[in-house]
Amino acid sequence: MASELSSENQTDSPVTAESPAAPRKGLRRRSFMQALGGVAGGVAVMAGATRAKAGNSWDSATDLSDEKLMEMYTKMLKSRWWEEGMKDVFLKGDDKMYGVCHLYIGEEAVAGGCIGALNDDDYIVSHHRGHGHLINKGGDLDKMSAEMFFREGGYNKGFGGSMHITDVSKGILGMNGIVGVSHILGAGAAYGIKVRGGKQVAVSFGGDGSVNNGWFYGALRNAALYKLPFISVIENNGFQVAIPTTETISVRDLSQIGKGLDIPSYTVDGQDIFAVYAVMKRAVDRARNGEGPTLIEAKTHRFYDHAGMARAKIGTLGAFGLPYRSDRDVHAWIANDPLPKFKNALINLGLLDEKKAAALEADVKKQVQASIEFARKSPMPKQEIGLSNVFAQGTVSPSQLHA
């Protein structure tokens, strides 16, 4: 399977998914839609006895058990409603929230499909928009909420806040505030796996902005050279803050960047968790087999503003009226929301019905509220604690008291 894939990649452009700027656009888009895309088409396939043979002849989700599918769905719900919960506490103002919060809402199928293909002991390196990665890798909602409140009970004990949440014990090597660094840290983690002779894989997530600097190329080039168990996932949401991606790079499918290095490279519909999973599963298999890295570009959409809550409203999905994007686009993206799409697929598969779905959602919302309560009750860290954790041992001097 894997060799088939790489030869496909060498002879043609990405196979799985929509690739708007590539040749044979119409054909590819149509077969893609039949297989995995829009709810109706996708559902018809999904409901089939074999649970989805994609039109491009890739298995879509045949190896996903019912339990696994439900777990992935629950995580997507958690990711969505935890972030909606954070949005609400920021907007209400009672908790005097501070710091940044980059909402991942709209992009959840990327984390869901990618991390759904990983094992617990695999590694991920995230970026500034990474809450969804964490939750899919098993991040604890209580500790995440407490970190948003900069409390002692938070993942980083109040040192880090949203942009740096980390859980090394779960292979979550952290969110990160510096664009592009996730790829080189991820490739390094993959090299570490090679040194120890492990069977894990390391995955880096980065935005479309993260492909524009040297770290990304260094990571890919060396991962290819050493055949590292490394997968780089580019979450192309079309913007870098307010800058359209198209204004920052000359290629339209960012997967094209991997081809000069003979790295299997794919562009996939990031709103479709099955499509993402299908591509990722093969990348993970290749990596575990010692066949080297894969580059995946997932085209996706962010429903809210870059950071903060501009134009966001409690009870409304998405931010409208932002100066750098059109509301018509935002409406179209929301019509392609990965969450109801996944839900409908599961209903068609007979794994879920509306009643069950509502109960599940209510339960997740309860967990989110409980995590916010946990955060509120978690103690403030002592001020002097800031002098610790600089080195493995001891504290640094509180220099301001010298005078």
Partner 1 sequence: MAVKPGNYAILEGIQAEMKTNKDLTIFWQNRPTAVSPMGKVIDLGKEFGNARIPQYTAIDEEWYIGACAGMALTGVPSIAHTPYMCTTRAFDLVFNQIGKLRHMTGGQASMPMVIWQDGAGRQPGMAGQHADAGQESLYAAIPGIKVVIPSNPYDAKGLMIAAIRDPDPVIFWHYGQINAVQTDVPDEAYEVKIGEAKLVQEGTDITIVGYGPAMVEINKAIPGLKAAGINAEIIDPRSLKPLPIEAIAASAKKTGKLLAVDHGHETLCGVTEIIARCAMMGAGNKFHRLAFPDAPPPGNKEMIGWMTPDAPKIVAAAKKMMTA
Ligand X SMILES: Cc1ncc(C[n+]2csc(CCOP(=O)(O)OP(=O)(O)O)c2C)c(N)n1
Q: Which residues are at the interface with ligand X (CB under 6 A)? A: 128-129, 177-180, 207-210, 237, 239-241, 306
Angle at which helices 66-92 and 141-148 pack, to 10 degrees?
20
Q: Does 207 bind Mg ion (CB under 5 A)?
A: yes
Q: Which of residues 92-111 bind partner 1 (CB under 8 A)?
A: 98-100
DSSP assignment of 68-99, as one string? HHHHHHHHHHHHHHHHHHHHHHHHH-TT---S
Q: Does 392 bind partner 1 (CB under 8 A)?
A: no
Closest distance to ligand X from the beta carbon of 277 (Å): 21
Q: Give which of Mg ion, ligand X, partner 1, none residue 164 binds (C-beta under 5 to 8 Å, depending on kind).
A: partner 1
Closest distance to Mg ion from the beta carbon of 250 (Å): 17
CA distances from 301 to 103, 107, 325, 333, 368 (A): 11, 6, 12, 6, 24
> Which residues 6+ apart lie within 8 Å of 211 measured at CB?
180, 234, 249, 254, 257
Q: Give which of partner 1, ligand X, Mg ion, none residue 247 binds (C-beta under 5 to 8 Å, depending on kind).
A: partner 1
Distance from the Cα of residue 177 to its chain's centroid? 15
Q: Does 402 bind partner 1 (CB under 8 A)?
A: yes
User: Binder to partner 1 among 354, 383, 393, 394 (CB under 8 A)?
Assistant: 383
Measured from the CB atom, the residue of 41 and 99 that comes closer to partner 1 is 99
Closest distance to ligand X from the beta carbon of 210 (Å): 5
- List strands edge to edge, sheet with 202-207: 123-125, 202-207, 230-236, 294-299, 265-269
Beta bridge partners of 299: 236, 269
Measured from the CB atom, the residue of 336 and 348 that comes closer to Mg ion is 336
Angle at which helices 181-196 and 214-225 pack, to 10 degrees?
20
Closest distance to ligand X from the beta carbon of 79 (Å): 15
Q: Which helix (H) or strand (E) is 256 found in, with range?
A: none
Closest distance to Mg ion from the beta carbon of 357 (Å): 30
User: Binder to partner 1 among 1, 44, 178, 370 (CB under 8 A)?
Assistant: 178
Q: Which of residues 342-401 bind Mg ion (CB under 5 A)?
A: none
The one-letter amino acid at 24: R
The CA distance from 177 to 159, in Å, is 13
In the structure encoding, which two tokens stand for residue 69, read together?
A: 């599918």
Q: Which of residues 323-382 bind partner 1 (CB under 8 A)?
A: 380-381
Q: Which of residues 271-310 bind partner 1 (CB under 8 A)?
A: none
Measured from the CB atom, the residue of 192 and 238 that comes closer to Mg ion is 238
Q: Does 241 bind partner 1 (CB under 8 A)?
A: yes
Task: Provide the 10 A C-beta neighbour count for residue 7.
Answer: 11
Q: Does 403 bind partner 1 (CB under 8 A)?
A: yes
Q: Give which of partner 1, Mg ion, ligand X, none residue 99 binds (C-beta under 5 to 8 Å, depending on kind).
A: partner 1
The CA distance from 256 to 297, in Å, is 9
Q: Give which of ligand X, Mg ion, partner 1, none residue 390 binds (C-beta under 5 to 8 Å, depending on kind).
A: partner 1
DSSP assignment of 130-167, as one string? -HHHHHHTT--HHHHHHHHTT-TTSTTTTSS-GGG--B
Measured from the CB atom, the residue of 161 and 264 that comes closer to partner 1 is 161
Interface residues toward partner 1, by CB under 8 A: 98-100, 150, 156, 158-161, 163-164, 176-180, 209-210, 212-214, 240-244, 247-249, 380-381, 383-387, 389-390, 396-400, 402-403
